[in-house]
């Protein structure tokens, strides 16, 4: 049967609209609304770097095939982006800047610098800014100009006496200086864009010429790395070379301020070679993701912080591995402290009983305590086996840095094949205690990254379950062989769900079991929480389950290609999206199973890349106490009527009716875990 699927890229833009809705919410503190604008802007930049190249390619194909413009994804995407940017401008200039002003914070937005602070602004320009400015003639200049990805520039149009005008590109060095300069005057704070400091002082750069116009712009470029399968050298070396070229990729967006004369616009397009990109008229300021660093320190304008909860049952006098031996335990970041995970690696590094440490690293902190512990372990003679995924987009350079340091320390570094990423989040420690080999493992839904653990919601399970740990050991042996795929190397996983082996087939089997129960007239249900939902086989199976009468509840944070609530296809499927102070990141799968619910967690979204081009690990939750806790947390999220929206048949974000009792799920989960008694049973 043919099913309907929503376009992936349009769905992603609708998720970004959900971020924008938080900026519009009058119930949030002002600076949190500003931060959501920054997130929206950052997401849009990534869209043009990662997704727009594909959209543009499809557009060209549609032109060749004469597809109706209204059906063209590029056309729809441009319409969505334009509408969202208009909303962005309205909330920023119409609501948030005035609210800041009510709190004596004056963010100068396309307005004159007050005379009372002008001298301090000029002093900052002379002492700090001027050293970084590099004017380049766009026509006939001595140096060829190539605008870097997402960097900020002015096109300054100048007039010379008795000569024709000239055009100069002038960089705005926000990559080297803070984007905002703050001055206090008469009990008020004034915040000035770096852009405006330069505009204000242009006559000090171009002293003998008339400044006829100054127009801001930036260019966004394709971020894809081109890795050759037949490359004979080291994959690390190849990626390093490609990273040097990334910011020189194909231009996908040329963003400029309004009011730029057409002849100047055409000049820039011609000289900078951006004719094939999306030409977008934006605001006077670009890279508003920098609003995340707006220097405002008034506590009442921000969230009240929630202190991470600490499991006091892990004694300072007891080895964390002895604690794990007593039974499985789970940590929910960022509600609970990440220190236990850091302790896992730190103790492994110094414990004289530990012989081997194996771990997969996808995205790690720039100053990672975890990797430093692994380096210490390797230097002390322990066998350290680390799969470092060098192809983690935008983290390649950081991962290469750590891979080199680990290798120098003596760790065994494993790189995945060019065609397969390793996205699994697993760690394994082997100890020799009183002549017996003992294992302890980490299985997680998110990266081993103490920085993102402060604002990503993830779940990390520690276990000594021999069934799970034996299969984890087999997985690391497989990864060490650097096989291109699972073909020809079979592991009969009975407990773990591993992409390239049994993950997709096991999920299909679990859905089929619910379908069978529904067709017999028995209760049947599936609850799934994901970041992204795209893969057609699994979506088709969910449609089939809905038609059989299986009740399916889903929480999908961003991309969603399944269309819920369609009679005859998906009327038994509901999908909601939650955006709050923390980024929802965990992946959880619950199957009714005749009342004996089965729970799985792990690293895998249901996207083509996760199912077909990555090594992913999902794991069963066998401990009844942990299973009930995870189910309770998901039930709270499904009851959220404050921060949740439902997705309709057009995948639009529809606010949930706020009826009593009000449930804000992240706050409710924090309160639930506050009351938790750490009874190991």
Is 478 annotated to bind ligand? no
Q: Which residues of 341-378 are buried (b: 16+ CB within 10 A; e: fewer)?
A: bbbbbbbbbebeebebbbbbbbbbbeebbbbbbbbbbb
Closest listed residue to residue 447, CA positions, set 437, 455, 435, 439: 455
In contact, 560 and 588? CB cutoff 8 Å: no
Is 532 annotated to bind ligand? no
Q: Beta strands 210-221 and 426-433: pairing type? A: unpaired
DSSP letters for 577-609: EE-SSSEE--EEEEE-GGGS-EEEEES--BSHH
Name the token pair of 248.
């020189």
In contact, 340 and 369? CB cutoff 8 Å: no
Is 253 annotated to bind ligand? no
Q: How far from chain centre, in Å, is Cα 485?
A: 26
Burial class (CB in 10 A: 0-12, 13-18, 19+), 182: middle
Is 43 annotated to bind ligand? yes
In contact, 228 and 249? CB cutoff 8 Å: no
Is 372 annotated to bind ligand? no
Q: Is 512 left (phi over 0), alpha (psi -120 to 50) or beta?
A: alpha
Q: Is 211 left (phi over 0), alpha (psi -120 to 50) or beta?
A: beta
Catalytic residue selected from 423, 459, 495, 592: 423
CA distance 25 to 148: 35
CA distance 273 to 250: 10
Would you call 592 a catalytic residue per the annotation? no
The three-state DSSP-derived secondary structure of 36-83 is HHHHHHHHHHHHHHHHHHHHHHHHHHHHHCCCCHHHCHHHHHHHHHHH
> Cα dihedral sign for 270, 274, 278, 282?
negative
CA distance 230 to 417: 11
| Helix or strand holding residue 640 (H, E) | none
Q: What 8-state DSSP symbol labels residue 222?
A: -
CA distance 190 to 108: 7
CA dihedral 331, 332, 336, 339 (to 10 degrees): 50
Q: How far from chain centre, in Å, is Cα 218?
A: 22
Backbone φ and ψ for 581, nearest 5 degrees, come out as -65, -30
Is 415 annotated to bind ligand? no
How crowded is residue 20: how many other Cβ atoms within 10 Å of its Cβ? 23
| Helix or strand holding residue 103 (H, E) | none
Backbone φ and ψ for 80, nearest 5 degrees, come out as -65, -45
Where are any strands of DSSP class E within 393-510? 412-414, 421-422, 426-433, 436-444, 456-463, 497-498
Name the token pair of 578.
């939650």
Catalytic residues: 423
Going by the annotation, the residues of the binding site for Mg(2+) are 363, 393
Going by the annotation, the residues of the binding site for ATP are 43, 456, 557, 585
């Amino acid at each position: 049967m043919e099913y309907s699927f929503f376009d992936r890229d349009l769905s992603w833009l609708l998720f970004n609209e959900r971020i924008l809705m938080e900026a519009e919410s009058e119930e949030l503190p002002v600076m949190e609304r500003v931060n959501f604008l920054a997130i929206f802007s950052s997401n849009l930049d990534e869209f043009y770097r990662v997704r727009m190249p594909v959209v543009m390619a499809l557009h060209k194909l549609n032109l060749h095939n004469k597809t109706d413009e209204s059906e063209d994804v590029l056309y729809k995407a441009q319409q969505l982006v334009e509408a969202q940017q208009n909303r962005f401008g309205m909330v920023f200039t119409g609501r948030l800047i005035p609210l800041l002003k009510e709190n004596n914070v004056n963010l100068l937005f396309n307005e004159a610098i007050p005379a009372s602070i002008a001298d301090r602004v000029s002093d900052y320009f002379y002492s700090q800014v001027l050293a970084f400015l590099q004017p380049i003639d766009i026509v006939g200049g001595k140096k060829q100009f190539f605008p870097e990805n997402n960097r900020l520039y002015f096109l300054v149009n100048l007039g010379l006496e008795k000569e024709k005008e000239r055009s100069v590109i002038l960089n705005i060095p926000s990559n080297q200086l803070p984007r905002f300069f703050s001055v206090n005057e008469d009990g008020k704070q004034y915040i000035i864009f770096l852009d405006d400091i330069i505009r204000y002082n242009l006559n000090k750069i171009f002293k003998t010429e008339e400044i006829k116009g100054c127009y801001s712009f930036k260019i966004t470029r394709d971020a894809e790395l081109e890795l050759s399968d037949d490359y004979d050298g080291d994959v690390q070396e190849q990626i390093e070379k490609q990273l040097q070229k990334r910011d020189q990729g194909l231009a996908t967006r040329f963003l400029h301020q309004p009011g730029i004369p057409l002849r100047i616009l055409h000049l820039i397009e011609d000289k900078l070679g951006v004719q094939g990109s999306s030409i977008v008229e934006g605001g006077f300021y670009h890279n508003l993701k920098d609003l995340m660093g707006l220097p405002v320190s008034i506590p009442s304008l921000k969230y009240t912080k929630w202190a991470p909860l600490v499991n006091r049952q892990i004694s300072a006098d007891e080895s964390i591995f002895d604690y794990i031996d007593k039974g499985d335990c789970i940590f929910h970041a960022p509600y609970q402290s990440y220190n236990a995970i850091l302790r896992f690696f730190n103790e492994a590094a110094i414990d004289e009983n530990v012989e081997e440490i194996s771990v997969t690293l996808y995205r790690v902190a720039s100053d990672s305590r975890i990797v430093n512990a692994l380096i210490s372990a390797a230097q002390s003679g322990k066998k350290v086996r680390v799969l470092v995924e060098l192809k983690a987009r935008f983290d390649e350079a950081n991962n290469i840095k750590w891979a080199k340091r680990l290798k120098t320390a003596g760790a065994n570094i494993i790189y995945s094949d060019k065609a397969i990423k390793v996205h699994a989040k697993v760690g394994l420690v082997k100890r020799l205690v009183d002549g017996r080999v003992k294992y302890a493992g980490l299985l997680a839904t998110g990266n081993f990254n103490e920085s993102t653990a402060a604002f990503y919601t993830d779940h990390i399970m520690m276990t000594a379950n021999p069934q799970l740990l034996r299969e984890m050991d087999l997985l690391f042996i497989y990864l060490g062989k650097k096989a291109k795929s699972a073909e020809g190397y079979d592991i009969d996983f009975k407990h773990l769900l591993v992409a390239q082996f049994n993950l997709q087939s096991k999920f299909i089997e679990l859905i089929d079991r619910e379908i069978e129960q529904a067709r017999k007239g028995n209760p049947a249900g599936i609850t799934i929480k994901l970041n992204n939902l795209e893969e057609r086989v699994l979506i088709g199976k969910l449609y089939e389950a809905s038609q059989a009468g299986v009740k399916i509840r889903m929480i999908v944070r961003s991309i969603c290609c399944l269309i819920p609530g369609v009679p005859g296809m998906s009327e038994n499927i509901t999908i909601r999206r939650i955006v709050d102070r923390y980024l929802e990141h965990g992946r959880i799968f619950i199957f009714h199973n005749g009342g004996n619910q089965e729970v799985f967690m792990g690293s895998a979204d249901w996207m083509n890349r996760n199912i077909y081009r990555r090594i992913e690990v999902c794991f069963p939750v066998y401990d009844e106490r942990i299973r009930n806790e995870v189910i309770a947390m998901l039930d709270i999220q499904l009851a959220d009527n404050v921060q949740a929206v439902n997705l309709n048949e057009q995948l639009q974000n529809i606010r949930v009716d706020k009826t009593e009792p009000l449930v804000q799920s992240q706050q409710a989960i924090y309160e639930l875990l506050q009351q938790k008694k750490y009874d190991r049973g």
